Amino acid sequence: MKHELDIETAASILKLLGDKTRLTMIKILSNHECCVCEFVALFQMTQPAVSQHLRKLKDSGLVKETRKGQWVFYSLNPSHPYHSFVCNVISDLPNQLSKLEELEARGERISCD
């Protein structure tokens, strides 16, 4: 059941992805969920700046949030009609696992298992 893509909607999604910070966020989220403070630690960026990028992604519906205690975790929303389009766009990008490994090494990785 393939979704019929619309070029105008696609453009608005590519515009969202056309920012280094958000594109990296999406690539990371395609492998792991992350909370805001992890992104703050990953990008050298203030917390409001990170929150504002996440809000844009959330407003588009590409990303969803789940509160787990004091943390808010973000993850890709696989039921978004353009989810597979986005996955295709980011498929060949280098994965950002090394960044998460740095976090882990610095003891800044949050996990709620």
Partner DNA sequence: TGTTTACATAAGGATATGCTTATATAATAA
Partner DNA sequence: TTATTATATAAGCATATCCTTATGTAAACA
Binding interface with its own copies (CB under 8 A): 4-8, 10-20, 22-24, 27, 85, 88-89, 91-94, 96
- For the chain, the farthest-separated pair of C-alpha atoms sits apart, in whole angstroms, at 44
Contact partner at residue 54 from DNA, its own copies, none, CB < 5 to 8 Å by partner kind: DNA
Q: How far is the CB of 62 from its own copies (least distance, A)?
A: 13
Per the CB < 8 A criterion, the answer to whether 34 and 28 are in contact is yes
Contact partner at residue 111 from DNA, its own copies, none, CB < 5 to 8 Å by partner kind: none
Write the CA distances from 21 to 18, 50, 56, 66, 112, integer angstroms: 9, 9, 12, 21, 24
Enumerate binding residues for DNA (CB under 7 A): 15, 18-19, 21, 35-37, 40, 45-49, 51-56, 65, 67, 69-73
